[in-house]
Amino acid sequence: MNKTNKKTAVAIIGSGNIGTDLMIKVLRHGQHIKMGAMVGIDPASDGLARAERMGVVTTSGGIEGLLALPGFSEIKIVFDATSAGAHAHHNQLLQEHGIKVIDLTPAALGPYVVPAINLDDELDAPNINMVTCGGQATIPIVAAVSRVTKVHYGEIVASISSKSAGPGTRANIDEFTETTSKAIEKLGGATKGKAIIVLNPADPPLMMRDTVFILSEMADQAAIERSIQSMVEVVQSYVPGYRLKQQVQFDIIPADAPVNVPGLGLLQLASPVLTRMALRQFARPHMQALADLTEGQVQLAVGFRRELCLVEQANSLGNPVFRPEVGVHTSLPRTASGRAYLLGLPDEEREAYLRDLRAADPQRATWLDQRLGDARRDLAEHGFCRSHGDLHRELESIAVAMSRPQDGELWVFAVTLPIYSPLCGKLETEVGPRLRTLVRSVESVLGASGLS
Q: Which residues are tagged catalytic?
A: 133
Distance of CA 176 to the CA centre of its chain: 10
Q: Are strands 209-216 and 151-161 parallel, antiparallel or unpaired?
A: antiparallel
As a three-state string, the secondary structure of the chain is: CCCCCCCEEEEEECCCHHHHHHHHHHHHHCCCEEEEEEECCCCCCHHHHHHHHCCCCEECCHHHHHHHCCCHHHEEEEEECCCHHHHHHHHHHHHHCCCEEEECCCCCCCCECCHHHHHHHHCCCCEEECCCHHHHHHHHHHHHHHCCCCEEEEEEEEEEEHHHCCHHHHHCHHHHHHHHHHHHHHCCCEEEEEEEEEEECCCCCCCCEEEEEEEECCCCHHHHHHHHHHHHHHHHCCCCCCCCCCCCCCCCCCCCCCEEECCCEEECCCCHHHHHHHHHHHHHHHHHHHHHHHCCEEEEEEEECCEEEEEEEEECCCCCCCCCCCCCECCCCCCHHHHHHHHHCCHHHHHHHHHHHHHHCHHHHHHHHHHHHHHHHHHHHHCCEECCCCCCCCEEEEEEECCCCECCEEEEEEEEEECCCHHHHHHHHHHHHHHHHHHHHHHHHHHHHCCC
Integer-rounded Cα radius of gyration of the chain: 25
CA distances from 302 to 175, 307, 385 (A): 29, 8, 16
Query: To 5 degrees, how large is the angle CA 40–CA 46–CA 51?
Result: 70
- Residues 434 and 400: their CA atoms lie apart, in Å, by 11
Is the bond preceding residue 205 a cis peptide, omega within 30 degrees?
Answer: no
Distance of CA 378 to the CA centre of its chain: 34
Q: How many residues would you count in the chain? A: 452
